[in-house]
Amino acid sequence: MLRAVVGWEPSFSARRGFFVLITLLEKELRRAVSAVLPDVEKPDVRVQPCQNPEFGDYQTNSLMSLAKARGLNPRQLACDVKDRLSVQDWCESVEVAGPGFLNFRLRPEAVIHLIATALKGDHLFFTTQSPAQRVVIDFSSPNVAKPMHVGHIRSTILGDCLARVYRLLGHQVITDNHIGDWGTQFGKLIVGWKEQLDTEALERDPLAEMDRLYKDVHQRCENDPALLEQARQELVKLQQGDPENLEIWRRMTSYSQDRFAQLYKRLGVKFDFSLGESFYQPHLEGVVQELLDRGIAQYSEGAVVVFFEDHPELAGQPAIIRKRDGGFNYATTDLATLAYRLENWKPGEIVYVTDGRQQLHFKQVFEIFRRWHPEARIKLTHVWFGAILGEDGRPFKTRSGETVKLSDLLEEAKERAYGVVSEKNPELGESRKQKIAECVGIGAIKYADLLPNRQSDYIFSWDRMLSLNGNTAPYLLYAYTRIRSIFRKLREVDPNASLKVQVDPAKARLAAQEEWVLAKQLLNFGFVLKAVAEDYRPNYLCNYLYDLAGQFAKFYETCPVLKASEEEREVRLALCELTGRVLKLGLETLGIETIERM
RNA sequence: GCACCGGUAGCUCAAUUGGAUAGAGCGUCUGACUACGGAUCAGAAGGUUGGGGGUUCAAAUCCUCCCCGGUGCACCA
């Protein structure tokens, strides 16, 4: 590896597919650590960008924890490892700093090389992960006969985003919408349907009509035991396969699915499967019996229950898998679902995206499943999120106190975005304004949802999410349109300019500070995508894109592109082009569509 | 009562999970050549990270005890 540098000739060809310098450095560091400490198996070494450019471009802190764990002098270890490193292809210096940091300073040639190869389309600063995994992502899960509301939006947007990230990184993703299409609510719904269905209203807005029926019967049941009993009877008949009730159920499901499909289309969300709760009904009896047979479950107070007395966190909180009346509940369904997925799809991981209130439920289900299938090598992950609150800090509701329907929310987003676009850019044609409003409005909602740490509650604010300043979808979309505008203008300024931007790595220089900073930010795209996948946290990507857009804005202010000399223009156009590509792909990965003008 | 999650600038949120000087936006104040889209950019002010104690080279982050808030805890999903 050590060799004289006579004209810079990268050895990347020997490492095809590695376009993330951090990954290369980590690999080389692991090799060096193993050389210094031969008994360390697969050392856990992580490299990250320096937050303070004075220290360098990348740093590792891992040697200090490694030294600590082994009672070594951390600074000495850092020096030893440094001596064994051969990273001169990519770094012009490696320094030991402080108690044992290792700081790397990148060679400009290496950065230029990555810029040039990215322009050619060889990569976009990330690599697919290997080995590829098969991942099932379970999200959205609306209920039949109820309108989707804000409660579903985070699951839908977060789950869709995670699916996109995993796919981008080369994993095989199966998305499955576990629709709530079976359960006790159908007793009341069928009573309402038979008694007072308004067919016109049903045609107009089926979910609103079914919601009305349910609420009406539900309310009357409060002080009408006879009606409640009637609802129970209808439910029993449905469960026993009564043709009339089954037909009503089918129609309700069908109406709901149509309506869900409209919303998903508007949101750009797709599912590979929509296997609802009803799909698993035939399996539930067997699940309970098997858990009883194996001694995992037992009878208690007439119900079938699983206890976790030896489990510190779950002790005293049993899970019911069959009710005293013989009915099953959602724990049973989730267990049957898990078994089905394991057997038919053989995934390496299943990710459940739901709100935080279901934490206990999934802990129980996962624990039962591990007892039931101790041999299964599968990672089960509950990706949970906090609530959406109104500006008063209480659960997000309409003025009249109703939950906000998702379709209304999307429509309002579009209207508000339309207002902003019309004000800023009144000369645009009507259809273009409509298109922009749709993109900006939906994008703003999605972005506002993905930006906060998913585990915290967040306050929903139209003004903030639609602002053109700050960390918002409109700001990022605007940054993208400015880039596109440069390329439109380029053809006016220089009709002969090639549409395909290229740089000559031998001649190109990142002379200005702003160019250098921007280029290095581009390089970190892959690092961030990986972090998003590891922690199931799209907000890392949001923050990365916001930083990228901010660094582009500074570059744009200080480095003229079209007015620059030909030599300068080449590399600046390259930075514009690649920033545009990363912004576009990054936003797409968040589920947000980009536009050329706004 | 038990369990889980949170408390960071006036407000809304970050902080690559133990790293170097805790960062953005809004709001407040001051600036920027007629400006490749000003829907922008630069700068200032603003902090004992709820409080105490501990662990160590290093703590918003880990341990412990309090205070405050949210959520969940046997037949709804």
Average pLDDT over every residue of A329-357: 95
What are the E-state strand segments in A87-188? Answer: 91-97, 101-106, 134-138, 172-176
Chain centroid to Cα A426, Å, comes to 35
- For the cut 80, the answer to whether the pLDDT of residue A499 exceeds it is no
Residues 6 or more apart from A18 whose CB is under 8 A from it?
Answer: A12, A24, A27, A127
Average pLDDT over every residue of A183-209: 92
Task: Report the length, in residues, of chain A.
Answer: 598
Statement: the CB of A464 is under 7 Å from strand B = yes
- For the cut 80, the answer to whether the pLDDT of residue A134 exceeds it is yes
Residues 6 or more apart from A85 whose CB is under 8 A from it?
Answer: A28, A29, A32, A94
Q: Please report the pLDDT score of residue A34 as a whole number.
A: 92
Lowest mean pLDDT among A308-317, A326-335, A449-458: A308-317
Q: Please report the pLDDT score of residue A477 as a whole number.
A: 95
Q: Please report the pLDDT score of residue A6 as a whole number.
A: 40
Task: Specify the pairing of strand A134-138 against strand A349-355.
Answer: parallel
**Which residues, in sequence order, are bridge partners of residue A388?**
A458
State how far the Cα of A154 lies from the Cα of A452, in Å rounded to an integer.
11
Mean pLDDT across chain A, nearest whole number? 90
State how far the Cα of A588 lies from the Cα of A582, in Å rounded to an integer.
10
Instruction: Report phi then psi at A398, rounded to 5.
Output: -75, 175
Average pLDDT over every residue of A187-191: 93
Statement: the CB of A103 is under 7 Å from strand B = yes
SS3 A61: coil
- pLDDT interval class at A521 (50, 70, 90): very high
Q: Please report the pLDDT score of residue A183 as a whole number.
A: 84
State how far the Cα of A482 lies from the Cα of A385, in Å rounded to an integer.
34
State how far the Cα of A162 lies from the Cα of A533, in Å rounded to an integer.
7
- pLDDT interval class at A469 (50, 70, 90): confident
Instruction: Report phi then psi at A516, rounded to 5.
Output: -65, -45
Separation between the CA of A129 and the C1’ of B41 (whole angstroms): 38
CB-CB neighbours of A353 under 10 Å: 26
Q: A358 vs A52, A54, A353, A355, A468, CA distance in Å?
A: 40, 45, 10, 6, 36
Question: A504, A412, A506: which is closest to A461 by C-alpha?
Answer: A412
pLDDT tens digits for A4-44?
A: 334 445 554 435 456 889 999 999 999 999 999 988 878 88
pLDDT tens digits for A96-123?
A: 999 999 999 999 999 999 999 999 999 9
Statement: the CB of A59 is under 7 Å from strand B = yes
| CA–CA–CA angle A463, A154, A259 (5° rounding) | 100
Q: What is the ipTM of this complex?
A: 0.94
**Per-state percent for chain A, helix, strand, coil, to nearest 5:** 55, 10, 35
pLDDT tens digits for A393-425?
A: 888 888 777 888 999 999 999 999 999 888 888
- For the cut 80, the answer to whether the pLDDT of residue A515 exceeds it is yes
- The DSSP annotation for A546-572 comes to HHHHHHHHHHHHHS-STTS-HHHHHHH
Q: Please report the pLDDT score of residue A9 as a whole number.
A: 53
Q: Which strands sit side by side in the sheet containing A134-138, from one edge to the other?
A: A172-176, A134-138, A349-355, A379-385
pLDDT tens digits for A421-443?
A: 888 888 888 999 999 999 999 99
- For the cut 90, the answer to whether the pLDDT of residue A342 exceeds it is yes
Average pLDDT over every residue of A440-461: 92
Statement: the CB of A46 is under 7 Å from strand B = yes
State how far the Cα of A385 lies from the Cα of A356, in Å rounded to an integer.
5
Residues 323-352 of A with CB under 7 A from strand B: 323-325, 327-330, 333
Angle between helices A525-535 and A150-168 (to 10 degrees): 130
State how far the Cα of A203 lies from the Cα of A2, in Å rounded to an integer.
75
Instruction: Classify residue A42 as exposed, middle or buried by CB count within 10 Å of its CB (0-12, 13-18, 19+).
Output: exposed
Give the pair of three-digit tokens for residue A41.
């198996």
Statement: the CB of A389 is under 7 Å from strand B = yes
Which residue reads 């900006």 in tokens? Answer: A440
pLDDT tens digits for A532-575?
A: 999 999 999 999 999 999 999 999 988 999 888 888 888 999 99
Average pLDDT over every residue of A198-207: 92
- The DSSP annotation for A248-289 comes to HHHHHHHHHHHHHHHHHHHHT---SB---GGGGHHHHHHHHH
Q: Please report the pLDDT score of residue A10 as a whole number.
A: 53
pLDDT tens digits for A47-59?
A: 999 988 889 999 9
SS3 A377: coil
State how far the Cα of A42 lies from the Cα of A34, in Å rounded to an integer.
8
- For the cut 80, the answer to whether the pLDDT of residue A250 exceeds it is yes
State how far the Cα of A304 lies from the Cα of A332, in Å rounded to an integer.
10
Residues 263-292 of A with CB under 7 A from strand B: 277
Give the pair of three-digit tokens for residue A396.
């997000």
On chain B, which bases lie within 7 A of the protein's CB atoms?
2-7, 12-21, 24-27, 36-42, 57-58, 70-77
Q: A240 vs A179, A289, A330, CA distance in Å?
A: 21, 20, 19
Q: Please report the pLDDT score of residue A480 as a whole number.
A: 95
SS3 A149: strand
| CA–CA–CA angle A240, A327, A256 (5° rounding) | 65
- pLDDT interval class at A498 (50, 70, 90): low
Statement: the CB of A539 is under 7 Å from strand B = yes
Statement: the CB of A521 is under 7 Å from strand B = no
Statement: the CB of A591 is under 7 Å from strand B = no
Question: A242, A243, A323: which is closest to A284 by C-alpha?
Answer: A323
What is the Cα Rg of chain A in Å?
28
pLDDT tens digits for A357-387?
A: 999 999 999 999 999 999 999 999 999 999 9
Question: A516, A586, A520, A514: which is closest to A49 by C-alpha?
Answer: A520
Instruction: Classify residue A388 as exposed, middle or buried by CB count within 10 Å of its CB (0-12, 13-18, 19+).
Output: buried
At A229, which amino acid appears?
E
Q: Please report the pLDDT score of residue A41 as a whole number.
A: 77
- For the cut 60, the answer to whether the pLDDT of residue A330 exceeds it is yes
Separation between the CA of A487 and the C1’ of B17 (whole angstroms): 41
- For the cut 60, the answer to whether the pLDDT of residue A2 exceeds it is no
